[in-house]
Chain A
């Protein structure tokens, strides 16, 4: 494993899909020893794309590839008594368990916090689920989509009025829950001496967004005045321009707040006559006349390309940016200059250009180095090293199905 800031921290990742795997990847990418435990059938992400040429293959899922770097992988069937016992031995070894199974599922396996806390009193358990471990919805079936839309974020901030509210991005609730679990869980691990041992860190993806994003901006006002707002379909209705607009080859995020920014934009547009009203120097006056202003600006943006608009407006002091496609972001020279991308060799996918470390720690660099494990790739190594099992005993685990038949 690569060296890094979290060297010495031992993590079991018993997650699937996005939230727990991405959280555990933040540990592994910064040097923790992370063992990913999969059921014999593998993480559900292995069965979802994107696959090369859209041909499903459990070792070629892009979704699995990107969220499981720097981890070792083992299989274990926790539905069997022997499998559960093996899993508990891994928890005795570990400092941290990261998981995102539904609470009722963990209970069914006898792996809910109450059942495992006694195994290792220093274990920090990071559970990341759509709705959390307590409360009336904790027994519900749910996915990322349900969590995001329970947060208030879509109704308030994303979509056109009268039309369906939208999720912001893809797996946005899972990612938000993942970084929340990483921050709180890593602090709980770091501070075990202060806290007097390990503990359960119960993250609800819905609640984290409802609180830290939507609640922070809206709940005090609503509680006091009984008034609240909904989505408008416009980036910032109190300003203009302050939204995404079409241009010749895509879209731009047009934004001017301060007077200097507005004057900069006017200048870039060639000081058109319509913009010369002194009234428009004021952001609120522009917002009140948005119906008038937007068509004029659009006439101009439609004659120009997004990168050109961004470059010229930025040079004139305006906070205007192109809406990058995923390809444009992936190929951007700024990110390349910062070594944001890393090439990773994978036995089935070949060399793949991956997103690198999400933040830079100069004294203890992190980031993905080794590819996501093949299913059960490290069974012999991990069960030998950590559980002290010999080849014959491991062979027995395979033959009786305890760690699956794929090893």
Chain B
């Protein structure tokens, strides 16, 4: 019985940059695809220059966050300012199944890589374009970064402290979300290609993909004309109380607690030793607990603040209450659950240093993902040009000398 990865034999040319596009490539790679990211020293991706660097040595080949976020992608270096560089991209596309890009609309066409141009070299190619707001429409040229893209979906308007204004999220949640989501779009299009013989040009608007996350609030608007706002960590559709994050012993230590049912409320009460306040009529049903949620949360916080977050989670779980510690970045590495699941792994980079990245964050029972860290620029040149394109040594050397392969 073979145990190959599911996307074995699928080849992907990744013109994506920064974060979302590289995560698309990474997802397909973890699932077995061969992914070649096209980049160049002539225009180094900004994320290659993000500190900290491996062993503190500043280099665009040593950014630790870049190596984690781009893990799985291979790297082929081609100078796209030169016509020979562009030609070689098309030569690779002719041998590929999928092309990924996350430039603005029209950029691919200007580069000579529009869908029609790609079809000339590979008729059934699947091109996945993932611009911020899609390939058409009045806002298609909006300038935005992943960091603030969520603002034009309605999502940001829902995040913040109760009765206060929106609080920004300090990194682009939307990038890995859209990256993984678009990998689904690509496999879906490959399925159609296999069924029908035709490829297609996927119009993946990050705005529209992310806006799916506003579904519950969107429905409240559509059904009741109600416009939601920030409500701390309270339940999105008011179906649990308590539902929040509560302080524990220590600096910035917290526990998350979610109590949707009466049964779980009784468990929580028992864990608290049924204090007098919890017997009051104000807390006797979910409806009443929701009505008095501020007072309820204040009471619970007075109780949790005397406990260690990990110990209290164990204690509450033993009683059947949904509780878990709120982790910071350092906790992720020491947490026994993530350790047991091998979430983070130490790997040796091809350049020789050790680094910690995330591994296959989904566990598959039959085929195990092979995770390799993000590449140095041009790491896969020989394999791509000599192996895939069958280029001879002299031509290869000449192209390096001419800074086409660069």
Given contacts A49-B237, A323-B151, A333-B138, contact A164 B188 (CB under 8 A): no
Q: Please pick, from A48, A62, A179, A213, the residue contacting B181 in the complex, using a CB distance under 8 A.
A: A179
Given contacts A199-B364, A212-B361, A324-B153, contact A136 B340 (CB under 8 A): yes
Q: Does A293 lie at the interface of the complex (its beta carbon under 8 Å from any beta carbon of B)?
A: no
For window 11-34 of A, CB contacts with B under 8 Å fall at 22, 26, 30
Given contacts A168-B159, A170-B213, contact A364 B240 (CB under 8 A): no
Beta-carbon contacts of B346-374 to A below 8 Å, as 1s and 0s? Answer: 10000000011111011111110000000
Within the assembled complex, what's the spacing in Å between the Cα atoms of A151 and B205? 26
Chain B interface mostly helix, strand, loop or mixed? mixed
- Asked if A217 contacts B171 (CB within 8 A), the reply is yes
Beta-carbon contacts of B57-72 to A below 8 Å, as 1s and 0s? Answer: 0000000110111000
Beta-carbon contacts of A368-381 to B below 8 Å, as 1s and 0s? Answer: 00000000000000
Task: Tell me which residues across on chain B come within 8 A of A200, comparing CB atoms.
Answer: 363-366
Q: Please pick, from A162, A201, A244, the residue contacting B362 in the complex, using a CB distance under 8 A.
A: A201
- Asked if B366 contacts A195 (CB within 8 A), the reply is yes
Given contacts A155-B326, A208-B361, A253-B151, contact A326 B158 (CB under 8 A): yes
Nearest Cβ distance between residue A211 and chain B, in whole angstroms? 4
Q: Does B343 lie at the interface of the complex (its beta carbon under 8 Å from any beta carbon of A)?
A: yes
Within the assembled complex, what's the spacing in Å between the Cα atoms of A232 and B361? 27
- Asked if A330 contacts B154 (CB within 8 A), the reply is yes
Nearest chain A residue, comparing its CB with the CB of B341:
A135
Within the assembled complex, what's the spacing in Å between the Cα atoms of A229 and B328? 9
Q: Please pick, from B176, B213, B221, B317, the residue contacting A327 in the complex, using a CB distance under 8 A.
A: B221
Within the assembled complex, what's the spacing in Å between the Cα atoms of A156 and B144? 22
Beta-carbon contacts of A247-261 to B below 8 Å, as 1s and 0s? Answer: 000010101010000
Q: Does A160 lie at the interface of the complex (its beta carbon under 8 Å from any beta carbon of B)?
A: yes
Q: Please pick, from A142, A192, A349, the residue contacting B322 in the complex, using a CB distance under 8 A.
A: A142
Nearest chain A residue, comparing its CB with the CB of B224:
A50
Given contacts A164-B245, A211-B344, A328-B154, contact A216 B68 (CB under 8 A): yes
For window 206-255 of A, CB contacts with B under 8 Å fall at 207-208, 210-225, 228-237, 242-244, 246, 251, 253, 255
- Asked if A338 contacts B27 (CB within 8 A), the reply is no
Instruction: Kindly specify which of B35-43, B78-86, B252-260, B381-389 makes contact with the partner chain.
Output: B252-260
- Asked if A208 contacts B362 (CB within 8 A), the reply is yes
- Asked if A180 contacts B180 (CB within 8 A), the reply is yes
Task: Tell me which residues across on chain A come within 8 A of B335, comparing CB atoms.
Answer: 150
- Asked if A235 contacts B239 (CB within 8 A), the reply is no
Nearest chain A residue, comparing its CB with the CB of B222:
A353
Nearest chain B residue, comparing its CB with the CB of A208:
B361
Within the assembled complex, what's the spacing in Å between the Cα atoms of A163 and B326? 13
Nearest chain B residue, comparing its CB with the CB of A330:
B221
Q: Does A383 lie at the interface of the complex (its beta carbon under 8 Å from any beta carbon of B)?
A: no
Nearest Cβ distance between residue A58 and chain B, in whole angstroms? 14
- 12 other A-B residue contacts (CB within 8 Å) besides A136-B340, A195-B3, A324-B157: A141-B322, A148-B256, A167-B159, A169-B173, A175-B177, A183-B27, A194-B7, A228-B330, A330-B154, A355-B218, A360-B134, A363-B200
Q: Which 10 A-B pairs have the closest CB atoms?
A: A191-B6, A62-B219, A220-B64, A170-B236, A223-B356, A199-B366, A211-B358, A211-B361, A329-B154, A235-B168
